[in-house]
């Protein structure tokens, strides 16, 4: 946990994607949005999205290895991590529409122990021969959490995580086009 908290905070100094914004920030809730242009059609972007073991940043795992990540892209499915001697549920799938939408409920990293309600939605839409991916993360909790003071860190971490997805999906699209 300490390693993840350090990585979570360290990500605050890394640049996020060009198209990100904090839509709402208050002590009891935040809404973050990131947009990515991916050089692959939505079905290929989807295949990348549902395989976090290929793109999730290793410093944002509990085990230190993205190969331990799994996502079951169906309602009730687990976005989980398993390793020798441990396991973690990062989020639970609440909606999945192949090639279009993935919605997860769960607080990532240190948010997990804060007992916040958090929903992450990834939409994939065909645009200009590729995909526009929109990632929104809505977090609600007790005002004592002072979520508005964490929003810049969370924004940058989500940008790092899903920027890795967009880069991986784009690379898959480029390889498929060869």
Domain segments of the chain as ranges: 2-177
Supply the pLDDT for residue 9: 39
Superfamily of structural domain 2-177: START domain (3.30.530.20)
Supply the pLDDT for residue 2: 41
The span from the CA of 106 to the CA of 137, in Å, is: 10
Query: Angle at the Cα of 25 (from 29 to 61), degrees rounded to 5?
Result: 70
What DSSP line would sit under 44-107, residue for residue?
HHHHHHT-GGGTS-GGGSSSS-GGGEEE--STT-EEEEEETTEEEEEEEEEEEETTTEEEEE--
Supply the pLDDT for residue 172: 84
Supply the pLDDT for residue 12: 35
Per run of 10 residues, the mean pLDDT along the chain (length 178 residues) is 41 43 96 97 97 96 96 98 96 98 95 94 96 98 95 94 96 77
Evaluated on CA atoms 124, 15, 29, 150, the torsion sign reads: positive
Supply the pLDDT for residue 178: 53
């Amino acid at each position: 946990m300490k390693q993840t908290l350090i990585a979570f905070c360290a990500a605050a100094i890394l640049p996020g994607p060009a198209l990100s914004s904090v839509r709402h920030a208050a002590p009891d809730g935040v809404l973050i949005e990131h947009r990515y242009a991916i050089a692959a059609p939505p079905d290929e972007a989807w295949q990348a999205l549902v395989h976090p073991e290929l793109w999730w940043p290793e410093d944002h795992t509990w085990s230190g290895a993205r190969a331990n990540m799994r996502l079951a892209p169906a309602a009730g499915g687990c976005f989980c991590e398993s390793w020798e001697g441990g396991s973690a549920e990062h989020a639970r799938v609440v909606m999945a529409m192949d090639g279009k939408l993935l919605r997860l409920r769960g607080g990532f990293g240190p948010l997990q122990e804060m007992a916040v309600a958090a929903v992450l939605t990834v939409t994939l839409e065909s645009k200009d021969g590729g995909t526009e991916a929109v990632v929104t993360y809505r977090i609600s909790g007790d005002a004592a959490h002072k979520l508005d003071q964490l929003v810049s860190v969370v924004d940058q971490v989500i940008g790092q995580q899903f920027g890795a997805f967009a880069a991986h999906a784009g690379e898959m699209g480029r390889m498929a086009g060869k």
